[in-house]
Structure 1
Amino acid sequence: MPSSETAPLFEPPQGALALPDATLTLTPDFIADADRTALFATLRTTLPWQRQPIVLFGKPVMQPRLLCWMGDPDAVYTYSGRTQQPLPWTADLNALRQRLQTVLGTPFNSVLANCYRDGRDSMGWHADNEPELGPAPVIASITLGATRRFLLRHRQRGLRHRLALSDGSLLVMAGSTQQHWQHAVPKTTLPVGERINLTFRYVTPRRR
């Protein structure tokens, strides 16, 4: 189980990232070092990972990573042309949710878990701006396992920014970030281990 200790969000060298039209906060060691390996192993071996087809440029393709959608029963989410029906919370993911709600002071009713098996697995450019997330969603993104590049690009200004999201880190995207910025996890030819990414969010509840 994750440590019950909470990490402060706004103290150097971590804290708010100075990007225009964005509210971004990075906490490198949100998950205690002693908890990371066991939590990664539990999630990797117990979550019902799957690959799903998505529509890309009008054609169905398989997503280049494993994923799992979990949450409250009414946290139904549609993205990339697919409607995700939530699976029940596991004890570990619910404990992380409760900790995030306490630290950030905002509710979360769902989590999208992604598993990047090696450098060939990736996430294309996108914004978390689906209608059920609302106009200013809070996305809390936890990384476990290998460090991967996380790219950001401004939709109007042509600005770009790069982060290295490491094991145990928490990146929070809030405010108008999703309106103005897209993000991606690109492929890499470098040797890299497995990475699990947990993105907690609140979706407008609806019936199945």
Structure 2
Amino acid sequence: MDLFNSTPGANLLPYDGEVQYFGKIMDIEKAQYYLNNLLQTIQWKNDEAIIFGKHIITKRKAAWYGNDSYAYTYSNTTKRALPWTQELAELKSLVEHLTHTSFNSCLLNLYHSGEEGMAWHSDDEKSLGKNTTIASLSLGAERKFLLKHKETKEPMSVVLERGSLLVMKGATQTHWLHCLPKSKKVQSPRVNLTFRTIVI
């Protein structure tokens, strides 16, 4: 099922969770301004993972920011949150206003081109709590975002426009996987900001 033309804010999942696509929440000029700023000011580092005992360093880069120096562990590696930059705080405030949800942290990913993606996974770490809400803001290149039910394997997809917002909440992380597939057609970078709440 293609979700690209769905009503903004409506639940895109047929069952076992909630995913809302708000579409563009800022104009192209503002989206480009924030993209340029984040590419220059964020402390990007190549992401790391330990899979089946093997230490992997990805081409994709990542960064972890928050209200406090929260520790966040995923793929058997741990990050310590950095303090918000002014621009990140502005984007956090905008997303909180639209979603009526408070967030205390943000995981950022930098995909230099379509040759970099994200494998199937769920953001179901214990530190995020159960039925967590994750707000995903996309800047830069448009990319396809896929979801797949863990049991029925039912697929869903949506094209994430530049300056757009997608929210996953409820039981989504329990029952659905999501990924960002690679695409040779995409030559420009994309920055994805995933606002989260670490359970203290």
Aligned to 1:64: 59
Query: For 1:83-118, what per-residue CA distance to the aligned partner results, in whole angstroms no more than 9, with x for missing partners?
Result: 110011001111111222222222100001101001
Within the candidate set 123, 126, 131, 2:126 is matched to 131
What is residue 147 of structure 2 aligned with on the other side?
152
Displacement of 1:62 in angstroms is 0.9
CA distance in structure 2 between the aligned counterparts of 1:77 and 1:18, rounded to whole angstroms: 27
Q: Partners in 2 of 1:166 and 1:89 — Cα distance?
A: 25
Whichever residue aligns with residue 8 of structure 2, its letter is Q
* Match status 1:87 vs 2:107: no
Other-structure match for 2:112: 117
Partner of 2:7: 13
What is the CA–CA distance in structure 2 between the aligned matches of 1:170 and 1:103, rounded to whole Å? 9
User: What is the Cα deviation at residue 174 of structure 1?
Assistant: 0.3
Q: Tell me, which stretches of 5 or more residues in structure 1 are unaligned?
A: 1-11
List alignment gaps of at least 5 residues for structure 2: 1-5
Could you report, residue by residue, the CA deviation over 1:27-77 in whole angstroms, capped at 9, with x for unpaired residues?
Answer: 111123331111100001111111032112321111230111001224221
Matched, 1:106 2:112: no
Task: Report what 1:161 is aligned to.
Answer: 156
After the TM superposition, which of the residue ranges 191-200 and 49-58 deviates more from structure 2?
49-58
> For 1:154-193, what aligned pairs fall within 5 Å after superposition?
154-193=149-188
Contact 2:141–2:188 under 8 Å retained in 1? yes
Aligned equivalent of 2:34: 39
Correspondent of 1:142 among 137, 142, 148: 137
Please identify runs of 4+ aligned residues in structure 1 that moved more than 3 A. Answer: none
- The answer (yes or no) to whether the contact 1:144–1:197 under 8 Å persists in 2 is yes
Q: Deviations over 1:140-195 (max 9, x none)?
A: 00000001111111001111111111101100000000000010111122243100
Q: d(CA) in 2 for partners of 1:122 and 1:176?
A: 24
Q: How far 1:19 sits from its partner (Å)?
A: 2.5
Give RMSD over aligned pairs: 1.4
Counterpart of 2:84, as a letter, is W
**Contact 2:71/2:80 (8 A) holds in 1:** yes
Partner in structure 1 of residue 3 of structure 2: none
CA distance in 2, matches of 1:125, 1:18: 17
Looking at structure 2, the residues matched to 156 and 52 of structure 1 have their Cα atoms a distance apart, in angstroms, of 29
SS at match of 1:167: coil
Q: What is the TM-score of this pair, normalised by structure 2? A: 0.92
Q: Residue 27 in 1 paired to residue 22 in 2?
A: yes
- Identity of aligned pairs, percent? 37
